[in-house]
Structure 1
Amino acid sequence: MAIPSYAPRYALARTVVVSFSLLFISFTLLFSCRPPFKTTLSKFSPFTTSQTPYTAAIIYLARLSHADELLESLASVNVYLPLRDPWPIILFHTGDFDDTPVQDDFLARLREKIGGASNRSDWDFSDRVEFVKLDWELPEGIPHTKEELNPVSPSSWPGYHHMCAFYSTKIFFNPRLQDVTYYLRMDTDSLFLEPLCYDPFEVMHTRQRSYGYLGVGNDAPIVTKGLWRFIRNYVDSHPREVELQLNASKTWKWPIGSTNGDVDLDDLSVSGYYNNFEIVKLEEFRKPEVKEWLYHLIQYPEGFYKWRWGDAPLRWVTTQMFFNIERDTERLCGIRYYHPYNYLEHCDCVPLHP
């Protein structure tokens, strides 16, 4: 009797097994070897974690006269800031970058500075830069000359005062940022000095923080005149919300002797974040109770334009009034960062996902 041949069946089975094995290995490699930067269909599309999606932006307030230091700052962002997505870089300006040739020249200098296409994302770094114009005008009731107003800081008036008002209040309602979850602010003279071991936006989102900072300093009494009284009056008019919050805070302290008039409040400094670097969750500053406070500030423009109240102490006051500092804020450790007026105590960089 002839012995049946099983060779064709074995060959077919071997082909199926080999094909399946190769397919399995291919899928395993595809999903296990995740690139350090996610490729997206849209370069500004939301980044999705296990939580809700979010969007982000890096923002500057830029002047053409400071273009050289801005280029240095942007180059440090390109090299040292490990972002999971190529988020937009928004250069707010008041007219310096209106003309297309000026913008093109700046972007060409940026590409030359960083050596062409960035190797840190699928998009050329310069393609992420946007120019957004701000229309700044002196508020009603504020004189248009220094001689008539006699501001505390005449040498920087009104540009610096506009900046303080913008970052203290108006930034949260800028149309370009309406659909942005988080912004990271940098100044043109800010620099990252070493690689960061985590994506700061991802830290904020994963830990559900509303405000991220590097350190706390203070503004001198010469530029906080009247601010303590302004805060006290607002708190007294909101005893059930703001006063209870401040009294429960472990980080808020009223000046000693301020309640009985033993001290002149104009002789006292006010604490403030070094917010030339900050990460802000915008929707938290748009809540009704926070908006009421910000509107109260806007209704007293002398605070910004005569007394030069700064955005640093006002950011500190705002977070103290409306946030749980332990739960809602994050000191972002490990960021080796330079700014001419900062003194920072460094803490170790700990990866979010070791």
Structure 2
Amino acid sequence: MLSKRYVLVSVLATICFLLFLLPPMYDSGTLNPQQLSSDPRENATFVTLARNSDLDGIMGTIRGVEDRFNHRYNYDWVFLNNEEFSDEFIKMTSQIISGEAKYGVIPKEHWSYPDYIDKEKAAEGRKKMEEDGIIYGGSESYRHMCRYESGFFFQHPLMQDYRYYWRVEPDTLLLCDINYDPFKYLRVNNKAYGFTIALYEYMATIPTLWEVTLKFLSSFPEYVHPHNLAKFLSEDGGQNYNRCHFWSNFEIADADFWRGDAYQNYFKFLDRMGGFFYERWGDAPVHSLAAALFLDRDQIHFFEDIGYYHPPYAHVPENFLERGLKCTFPEKRTFDWEGYSCMRHYYSAQDMELPPQVDRIYW
């Protein structure tokens, strides 16, 4: 008969051999992109708010996303519009998307004035802002867009099938090949919000947003995460907003955060105050305030290795040549360290060291 010791050794050897054959499991720490390059797709989609007139601008953008990233993963793409998409728009865009392209109409209640908004007051506000030369100050449709992107796009029926999304706008460009899955990076590393550009907002568009936010927080202090990123928003302990925000025309994020109680109650509170129409509150500062206050700061991620261009600003990865990143770009230098960028504030709030050559010219 075989000895107990021999049997035990044989069992252990078999287990070790089987473990060797299994793929490596994710550890609890942050994984690097190379560890995420060949896994199955996530529950995620691209999402674009567009008009039929945006067709020319979105075609080049889609082609770039497919060539730089999506031809390897075939993620779906959701298009949303406040009117029906034309046959031409559907035919032209769907033919170059490797995943399934879906087209939805925005419900009227999400692209109209709520009953509690004073339309005359809103019109007077637009007129005053236009006279003052504020960008999009006189635009009614821009305000509907900002409100929709702030509170509703993730609630559209077509978006209910997805947890993660990558927001893409017409006339934007990916500047570098992406050889890993950013969606998987978020999920595996417990990230909820990813960005590439941070900058200052025009205070004239959000004069009361911080005041209203503080009023909300006084009623719901439990929503503020103890390990938040409030230092990115204020340098005087929260008395004043420094206007820093993440540029939301590029977002890779967890839609479940926006669907959660904290953000839902925050958005509804903002919406009742009327600032989307009486002022010109943008979805970028609204998303940024919520992410910085309600999330653990470790859940916010700077996609430094994703080159991105939205006129007139570009994010160019640091030392991209030495790192083997395949990039092209329309500008000589990254926007990250320019005077109007908030990237220094972000690094400071996250206790990160600045790159040694923050003013390097890539040309």
TM-score (norm 1): 0.69
Inter-partner Cα distance in structure 1 for 2:238 and 2:192: 30
Give the gaps of 5 or more residues in structure 2: 1-21, 24-37, 131-135, 325-363
Inter-partner Cα distance in structure 2 for 1:108 and 1:286: 32
Q: 1:332 to 1:94 in 2, by over 3 A?
A: same
> Would you say the 8 A contact 1:142–1:149 is kept in 2?
no
Q: 1:241 to 1:138 in 2, by over 3 A?
A: closer
Given candidates 274, 277, 280, the residue that maps to 1:308 is: 280
Partner of 2:181: 199
Does the alignment pair 1:89 with 2:77? yes
Number of aligned positions between the proteins:
277
Which ranges of 4 or more aligned residues in structure 1 deviate by more than 6 Å?
none
Partner of 2:210: 228
Partner of 1:254: 234
> Would you say the 8 A contact 1:60–1:91 is kept in 2?
yes
Inter-partner Cα distance in structure 2 for 1:250 and 1:292: 19
- Tell me the SS of whatever aligns to 1:150: helix
- Tell me the SS of whatever aligns to 2:183: helix
Matches within 5 A, 1:286-297: 286-297=259-270
How far is 1:347 from its partner? 3.5
> Would you say the 8 A contact 1:334–1:348 is kept in 2?
no
Q: 1:148 to 1:223 in 2, by over 3 A?
A: closer
> Would you say the 8 A contact 2:234–2:242 is kept in 1?
no
Inter-partner Cα distance in structure 2 for 1:312 and 1:159: 16
Inter-partner Cα distance in structure 1 for 2:260 and 2:205: 28
How far is 1:231 from its partner? 1.6
Partner of 1:77: 65
Does the alignment pair 1:338 with 2:309? yes
How far is 1:63 from its partner? 1.1
- Tell me the SS of whatever aligns to 2:313: coil
Supply the AA of the counterpart residue of 1:129: A
Inter-partner Cα distance in structure 2 for 1:85 and 1:166: 28
- Tell me the SS of whatever aligns to 1:176: helix
Inter-partner Cα distance in structure 2 for 1:108 and 1:56: 23
Q: 1:89 to 1:240 in 2, by over 3 A?
A: closer
> Would you say the 8 A contact 1:197–1:334 is kept in 2?
no
Q: 1:62 to 1:241 in 2, by over 3 A?
A: closer
Partner of 2:226: 245
Inter-partner Cα distance in structure 2 for 1:57 and 1:168: 18
Supply the AA of the counterpart residue of 2:267: L
Larger radius of gyration: 1
Q: Name the % identity.
A: 22
Supply the AA of the counterpart residue of 2:201: D
Inter-partner Cα distance in structure 2 for 1:252 and 1:131: 36
Partner of 2:124: 149
Does the alignment pair 1:138 with 2:122? no
- Tell me the SS of whatever aligns to 2:311: coil
Supply the AA of the counterpart residue of 1:200: P
Inter-partner Cα distance in structure 2 for 1:148 and 1:93: 24
Partner of 1:16: none
How far is 1:253 from its partner? 4.7
How far is 1:180 from its partner? 0.5
- Tell me the SS of whatever aligns to 2:285: helix
Matches within 5 A, 1:156-171: 156-171=138-153
Q: 1:153 to 1:188 in 2, by over 3 A?
A: farther
Supply the AA of the counterpart residue of 2:160: Q
Does the alignment pair 1:274 with 2:255? no
Per-residue CA deviations over 1:256-286 (Å, capped at 9, x if unaligned) read: 4975xxxxx6xx6521101101011111222
Inter-partner Cα distance in structure 2 for 1:241 and 1:272: 19
Q: 1:332 to 1:144 in 2, by over 3 A?
A: same
Per-residue CA deviations over 1:171-206 (Å, capped at 9, x if unaligned) read: 232222122010100111211133122221121122
Q: 1:287 to 1:110 in 2, by over 3 A?
A: closer
Does the alignment pair 1:212 with 2:184? no
